[in-house]
Structure 1
Amino acid sequence: MARTRPRIPGSNGTVHPVVPWAQTVLRAPCATVTTFDDQLERLVEDLFATMYAADGVGLAANQIGVGLRVFVFDCPDDEDVRHLGHLVNPVLVEADGVQVRGEEGCLSLPGLRAPTPRWDRALVRGQDLTGADLEIEGTGFFARCLQHESDHLDGTVFLNRLTGLTRFRADRKAARADWYHRAT
């Protein structure tokens, strides 16, 4: 009997350009997914392929120009345990514990990194590709990833979480970036 290798997420997907922050699709709340079909499966495959090609740990659908509540992740936690999956219609239902100011970046804001406050624990509820309910809990860096991707689906980027001098410096650096001025 031949052994089959497990399918690698994204191996059948298409790599899309990552949408820069200035585009309106990143600044508007995403729509709820109501149809669980082959197109949704293709979107998740494309998200994985694009995330891996861009060397990311998470990617939201609006980052490839699709305004639907979907994100994928392949992210370690602070104990270096790998978390791999996707969420459809995710909602951040809990974010608590210790608030940690950690270095954060975003594929839609290339080259911009800043210490960003996030909770050390996050709980997200959503669905899988079939519509079955999912609940994903993360701590440490994985909690940061879950909060970051959930923010994207609500039209927020980590830049919106910054304050004071950190925000001023990040805004100044962003304004000098080529991607900042490419709005649609």
Structure 2
Amino acid sequence: MAVRPIRLFGDPVLRSPSAEITRLDEGVRALVRDLLDTVEEPGRAGVAAPQIGVALRAFSYNVDGVIGYVLNPVLVETSGEPVPFGEGCLSVPNLWHEVVRSPYARVTGIDVDGREVVLEGEGVLAQALQHETDHLDGKLYLDRLDPASRRLAMRQVRESPWF
């Protein structure tokens, strides 16, 4: 349907836990279309519903040429020795910091027809699954930085022209 504008750091929708989707109606189908259209833009690995202003538990992903979505995702498993990943966020543009994440992640949820979805992977997909489920819990990747990196990142945010 539409590529939606991304909400930026400071928008309250990014800091509020998202509500579970309880009705699979045309509004949810429209949300999924918008999430898929929005994540197809170049350089995007994932878009969570709060990033387009919708406080519902849904996200889309675009990793290694595979594009999809999950409704009501739950991060059910992470494993492996956590490692630092270079990470950025569409809601905190032009910043890049190392975040410690597990190298494997598995998410379960549903699709628009209520069928179970299981999405799992390593590397960039694992990172995206953890990053996007954080968004649905009202967390940003900045919250996962060590204290010194977080201070630097917050200074960079305050000095950014978009803030």
| TM-score w.r.t. length of structure 1 | 0.84
Do residues 24 (structure 1) and 7 (structure 2) align? no
Among 96, 111, 115, the residue aligned to 1:128: 111
Equivalent-residue separation in structure 2 for 1:177 and 1:148 (angstroms): 22
Gaps of 5+ in 2: none
Larger CA deviation: 86-95 vs 159-168: 159-168
Aligned to 1:164: 147
Q: What is the letter of the counterpart of residue 121 of structure 1?
A: Y
SS in 2 for 1:112: strand
Equivalence for 2:26 = 38
Structure 1: stretches of 5+ with no match in the other structure: 1-12, 77-81
Query: Which protein is bigger by CA-based radius of gyration?
Result: 1
Alignment partners' CA distance in 2, 1:127 and 1:110: 30
> Which residue number in structure 2 is paired with residue 174 of structure 1?
157
- Using the size of structure 2 for normalisation, the TM-score is 0.95
Q: CA deviation at 1:155?
A: 0.3
CA distance in 1, matches of 2:162, 2:139: 17
Matches of 2:109 and 2:116, distance apart in 1: 6
Contact in 2 for aligned 1:58/1:72 (Cα 8 Å) = yes
Q: Relative to 1, partners in 2 of residues 1:105 and 1:114: Cα closer, same or farther, differing over 3 Å?
A: same
Map 1:28-177 onto structure 2 (within 5 A): 28-53=16-41, 55-76=43-64, 82-177=65-160
Q: Contact (CA 8 Å) 1:25, 1:67: kept in 2 or not? A: yes
Alpha carbons of 1:103 and 1:147: their partners in 2 closer, same or farther (altered >3 Å)?
same
> Which digits, 9 at most, give the CA deviation of each residue in 1:67-110, with x for residues without a partner?
0000000113xxxxx43211000010111112110110000100
Moved over 6 A (4+): none
